[in-house]
Amino acid sequence: MGNMLGLCHVSKSFGGLVAVDNVSFTIEEGEIVGLLGPNGSGKTTVLNMISGSFRPTSGEIWYKATNISRMRAHDIVQVGIARTFQLVRVLGAFTCAQNVAAALAFHPGGAFGRAAVERIERLLDTVGLVLKADALASDLTYIDLKRLELARALALDPSVLLLDEWLAGLSGTELDDGIALIRSLRTQGLTILLVEHVMRAIRALCDRCIVLSSAVKIAEGATGDVLSDPRVVTSYLGSHDA
């Protein structure tokens, strides 16, 4: 065990708007941590800073012993952090296998030839898409699109995975399948930071939760404790996401 990821007094402003205000937390190896909060509270901005889409206005972000605060997104992928997006991003005109191949090509340790074919098959198998390897991404159902986006993130061979509302829009058995899939990733050694609103998923998956409200961290701790914290309950009131 050890710290995989650490935010130290991180803030982000867009012009006059403070989207993330002096947020600190750490994530240990092998944890699944939930990042919660009402719409607009700064969750995606936190993921954007960790993954290098935005630089923090102030504060530091550490991956193990490396200060990644000022690294570019491309380099942050190389150190071992991958993400999915709140709005799914895949290549619609390509097959599932081609989508994963394109992601693999981004990784310098990535495979070629026969090894690549096997790796693509294993990744599609991990996310439950192996039978749809040759289906066009544009023909996939919503859950399968999400599976494909996850396979693309896993192709980057990350140690830390950032999921931005990956389970949103799923219900019933699809949600159960999604929860089981994320749990299986932890078993494979991944450390996961999960932005999520779906309470059933949060309770089923997260060891700990961190809660943002209006850019500020208002709670952090074991999932059960955090979800019954009166400040957290209040911050979700009036929010249809809760």
Ligand X SMILES: Nc1ncnc2c1ncn2[C@@H]1O[C@H](COP(=O)(O)OP(=O)(O)O)[C@@H](O)[C@H]1O
Residues making contact with ligand X (CB under 6 A) = 14, 17, 19, 37, 39-45
- In angstroms, give the least distance from the CB of 241 to ligand X: 9
Residues 76-95 that bind Mg ion (CB under 5 A): 86
Owner of token pair 């219900």: 171
In the bound state, the residue with its beta carbon closest to Mg ion is: 44
Please say which residue, 36 or 175, places its beta carbon nearer to ligand X.
36
44 belongs to the binding site for Mg ion (CB under 5 A): yes
Please say which residue, 31 or 164, places its beta carbon nearer to ligand X.
164
Query: Residue 33 is inside which H or E element, if any?
Result: strand 32-36
Cα dihedral: 95, 165, 22, 159 (round 10): -50
Which of 171, 161, 130 is CA-nearest to residue 147?
130
- In angstroms, give the least distance from the CB of 146 to ligand X: 17
Please say which residue, 1 or 17, places its beta carbon nearer to ligand X.
17
Please say which residue, 24 or 86, places its beta carbon nearer to Mg ion.
86
SS3 190: coil
Cα dihedral: 232, 238, 241, 242 (round 10): 40
Q: Are 181 and 146 in contact (CB under 8 A)?
A: no
Query: Measured between alpha carbons, how far is 129 from 182 in angstroms, rounded to an integer?
Result: 15
- In angstroms, give the least distance from the CB of 102 to ligand X: 25
Give how many residues touch Mg ion by CB under 5 A: 3
- In angstroms, give the least distance from the CB of 41 to ligand X: 4
